[in-house]
C-alpha cells in the first residue's frame, strides 16, 4: 500500500538543534566546610619535612571560610601548626595557630584543567612560642621562615588534588558512558529519548551566606527515536564562560517512525466496516507515508466504493492548544477520477472522526509523555548520589514539522529554569595526593 516515493519530492530533515542547560549547583556552607575540613586534615595530618630538618604537623582549628570571584576560589584556613626540629631538640615543639589565605585560579585550555594555588597571606592568631626551662620564648621570625618554605608544599599539594579530583578526561569518559543508554523510554519500551553532550562549561562562581553556587552550562543534542541514531555522537569539550543565563533552552528532535503509528492505526481500522447500508465501506488494507510536510494514508476499500484511495493531512502545531493537529484534509483516487459527494462525505467523516483522532492521539501522547517526564525530573529527582534536581518548565512549542526517510520529524523547543542541590558529598570518593 506504500507508493513509490520520488526522490525529487523528498525534503531534507530539519537541522538537529543544540540545547543549552544552565544549571546552578548549590552546595551548602556546612557541607562544603565538612569536605574542606576533611580534605585539609587528610592531606596534612601526617606532617612533612622541610629543609634544615624541621617537621611540620597541621590540623584545622576552626571553621574554614571560602569565597569566590569569577573563576577564583579564595579559601581561609585556620590551622593549628606544630613545628618540631629533628635530633636532640625534637621535644622542643613550637605550637601556634595561623590563618592562611589561599587563592586558586581555575582555567581550561584545550580541554585541560589549569589550576594554580598561591598562599597570598597569613596571620598568626596565636603566635608561636617555645618552652625552654619553663620559659615561653616567642620565635615568630623563625616560624615565619619555616612557613614560607611550607607555602610551596601546601599549594602544590592542593593543586595536585584538584587536578586528580577534576580529571576532565575521566569526566568525559563517564559522561559519554552515561549517555549511551536512553534518558527515558516509553512504557512499551519502543520509543526512547537519547542525548549526546557537546560541551560542558563553567560559569562565574558566587558565594552567598548560605551556599556556594557553581554555574554549569551543558550543550548537547537530543533525539526521540526507537534507537540511538548513528550520527548522534559528539566529542565532549570543556570551557570556562564569563557569563551565565539563569534560563535554559532544551531542544529535542522527535524522529517518530511512521511504521510505529501505522501499526497502531492498522490494528484499529483494517477489516472494519464504516457507514451503513449502501453507503458503507470496509477497509481491507492500509499504508502510511510522509513526504515533505504532508502525511498520506493509502486505503484499499470495498463497498460503496471499490478500489484504492489516498487521504492526506498537513500536521500543524496549534500554539493555543499546545497540540499537533491534522488539517487540510484531501481525498483522491489513483486515477484522479471524480468521487461522488456521498462517498466523499463518508470518507471525510471517517478520516476526521477515526483516522485523525487516532493519529493525533498517538503523536501528542508521545509529546505529553515527554513533557510530563521533564516536570517529573525537575521535581526533586536524585540525579546522582546526594545531588537533587529542581526547576520549572516555563514554556514550549513545536517547530519544523516534516517527513523524511519514513519518519515524522519535529523539534520540541522548551524553556526552563533549573538548579541542583548538593545535599551530601561522599568524601570517601575523593582522591588525595598526600605529602
Q: What's the length of the chain? A: 435
Tell me what the mean pLDDT of segment 258-265 comes to.
91
**145 pLDDT exceeds 80?**
no
**pLDDT digits 0-9 by tens, 285-340:** 999 999 889 999 999 999 888 889 999 999 999 999 999 999 999 998 877 667 78
**154: pLDDT confidence band, cut at 50, 70 and 90?**
confident
d(CA 329, CA 96): 87
pLDDT at position 181 is 87
**pLDDT digits 0-9 by tens, 54-75:** 677 777 787 778 888 878 889 8
> Is the torsion defined by CA of 419, 424, 428, 430 positive or negative?
positive
Lowest-pLDDT range, 53-57, 141-145, 368-372, 385-389? 53-57
Tell me what the mean pLDDT of segment 361-389 comes to.
88
pLDDT at position 131 is 64
pLDDT at position 435 is 46
Q: What is the pTM of this model?
A: 0.76
**88 pLDDT exceeds 60?**
no
Q: What is the 3-state secondary structure (H, E, C) of 134-192?
A: CEEEECHHHHHHHHHHHHHHHHHHHHHHHHHHCCHHHHHHHHHHHCCCCCEECCCCCCE
Tell me what the mean pLDDT of segment 125-136 comes to.
71
- SS3 label, residue 13: coil
**347 pLDDT exceeds 50?**
yes
d(CA 426, CA 222): 30
> Is the torsion defined by CA of 27, 208, 432, 104 positive or negative?
positive
Q: How far is CA 355 from CA 274, 288, 318, 326, 358, in A?
A: 12, 11, 19, 10, 5
pLDDT at position 4 is 47
Q: Are 177 and 195 in contact (CB under 8 A)?
A: no
Amino acid at each position: 500500500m506504500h507508493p513509490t516515493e520520488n526522490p525529487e519530492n523528498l525534503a531534507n530533515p530539519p537541522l538537529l538543534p543544540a540545547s543549552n542547560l544552565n544549571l546552578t549547583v548549590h552546595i551548602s556552607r556546612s557541607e562544603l566546610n565538612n569536605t574542606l575540613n576533611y580534605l585539609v586534615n587528610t592531606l596534612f595530618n601526617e606532617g612533612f619535612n622541610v629543609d634544615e630538618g624541621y617537621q611540620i604537623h597541621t590540623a584545622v582549628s576552626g571553621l574554614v571560610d571560602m569565597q569566590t570571584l569569577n573563576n577564583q576560589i579564595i579559601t581561609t584556613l585556620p590551622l593549628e601548626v606544630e613545628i618540631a626540629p629533628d635530633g636532640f631538640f625534637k621535644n622542643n615543639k613550637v605550637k601556634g595557630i595561623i590563618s592562611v589565605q589561599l587563592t586558586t585560579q581555575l582555567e581550561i585550555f584545550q580541554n585541560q584543567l589549569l589550576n594554580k594555588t598561591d598562599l597570598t597571606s597569613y596571620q598568626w592568631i596565636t603566635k608561636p612560642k617555645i618552652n625552654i626551662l619553663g620559659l615561653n620564648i616567642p620565635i615568630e621570625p623563625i616560624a615565619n621562615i619555616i612557613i614560607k618554605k611550607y607555602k610551596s608544599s601546601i599549594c602544590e599539594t592542593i593543586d595536585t588534588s584538584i587536578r586528580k579530583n577534576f580529571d576532565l578526561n575521566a569526566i568525559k569518559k563517564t559522561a559519554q558512558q552515561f549517555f549511551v543508554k536512553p534518558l527515558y523510554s516509553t512504557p512499551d519500551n519502543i520509543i526512547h529519548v537519547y542525548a549526546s553532550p557537546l560541551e560542558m562549561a563553567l560559569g562565574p562562581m558566587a558565594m552567598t551566606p548560605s551556599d556556594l553556587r557553581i554555574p554549569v552550562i551543558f550543550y548537547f543534542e537530543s533525539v526521540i527515536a526507537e534507537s540511538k541514531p548513528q550520527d548522534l555522537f559528539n566529542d565532549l569539550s570543556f570551557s570556562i564562560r564569563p557569563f551565565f543565563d539563569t534560563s535554559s533552552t532544551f531542544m529535542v528532535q522527535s524522529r517518530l517512525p511512521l511504521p510505529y503509528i501505522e501499526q497502531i492505526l492498522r490494528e484499529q481500522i483494517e477489516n472494519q466496516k464504516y457507514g451503513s447500508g449502501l453507503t458503507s465501506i470496509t477497509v481491507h488494507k492500509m499504508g502510511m507515508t510522509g513526504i515533505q510536510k504532508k502525511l498520506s494514508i493509502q486505503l484499499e476499500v470495498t463497498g460503496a466504493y471499490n478500489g484504492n484511495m489516498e487521504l492526506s493531512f498537513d500536521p500543524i502545531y496549534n500554539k493555543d492548544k499546545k497540540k499537533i493537529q491534522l488539517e487540510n484534509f484531501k481525498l483522491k483516487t489513483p486515477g484522479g477520477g471524480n468521487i461522488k459527494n456521498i462517498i466523499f462525505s463518508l470518507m471525510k467523516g471517517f478520516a476526521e472522526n477515526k483516522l485523525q483522532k487516532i493519529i493525533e492521539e498517538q503523536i501528542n501522547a508521545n509529546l505529553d509523555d515527554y513533557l510530563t517526564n521533564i516536570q517529573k525530573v525537575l521535581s526533586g529527582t536524585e540525579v546522582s548520589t546526594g545531588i537533587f534536581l529542581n526547576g520549572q518548565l516555563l514554556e514550549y512549542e513545536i517547530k519544523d514539522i516534516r517527513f523524511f526517510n519514513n519518519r515524522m520529524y519535529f523539534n520540541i523547543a522548551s524553556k526552563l529554569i533549573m538548579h541542583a542541590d548538593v545535599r551530601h558529598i561522599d568524601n570517601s570518593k575523593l582522591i588525595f595526593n598526600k605529602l
